[in-house]
């Protein structure tokens, strides 16, 4: 299994996996291959995509991450947006290899921590992350302002 940065032509397969990940939690995804290409490879990239490529060149998994900064920590970090391994490839160490590569890339740019959010019902994911030292931050809750609210706030 080859862990590598995604290429623009991988975005179709990654978008398909994003849909699969969202479906696991009863959510529909608004992600498109074109949107991923723009955000990862456009004029002002906001995300990085890592993929796990099987020997037949099919993509088995992906991880999307971006740089972040914590004022409380006074440090740069890596924010993991998504991690997904196709069911037939699970329990083979692919997820942790993707996480390790994201950590290496972040550390090379000065990151001193890694952060992610996880769906409340994702007990398997919680066990996975805790196995590698992640812990819940009890003092924080993610909140979101959807597009209509954002537009209203922006005036």
The pTM for the full model equals: 0.92
The predicted structure's pLDDT at residue 30:
87
Q: Are 102 and 51 in contact (CB under 8 A)?
A: no
Place of tokens 């971006």: 66
Q: Residue 140 — pLDDT band, cuts 50, 70, 90?
A: confident
Q: Are 124 and 30 in contact (CB under 8 A)?
A: no
Structure tokens at 93: 């160490």
Segment 73-99, tens digit of pLDDT: 999 999 999 999 999 999 999 999 999
Residue 46 sits at φ, ψ, to 5 deg, of -115, -15
Structural domains for the chain: 2-154 (3.40.630.30)
């Amino acid at each position: 299994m080859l862990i590598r940065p995604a290429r623009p032509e991988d975005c179709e397969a990654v978008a398909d996996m994003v849909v699969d990940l969202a479906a696991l939690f009863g959510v529909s995804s608004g992600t498109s291959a074109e949107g991923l290409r723009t955000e990862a490879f456009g004029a002002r990239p906001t995300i990085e995509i890592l993929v796990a490529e099987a020997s037949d060149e099919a993509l088995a998994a992906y991880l999307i991450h971006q740089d972040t900064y914590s004022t409380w920590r006074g440090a740069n970090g890596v924010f993991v947006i998504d991690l997904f391994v196709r069911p037939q490839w699970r329990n083979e160490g692919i997820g942790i290899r993707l996480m390790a590569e994201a950590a290496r890339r972040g550390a090379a740019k000065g990151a001193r921590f890694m952060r992610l959010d996880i769906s409340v019902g994702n007990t398997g994911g919680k066990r996975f992350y805790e196995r590698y030292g992640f812990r819940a931050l009890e003092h924080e809750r993610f909140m979101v302002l959807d597009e209509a609210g954002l537009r209203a706030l922006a005036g």
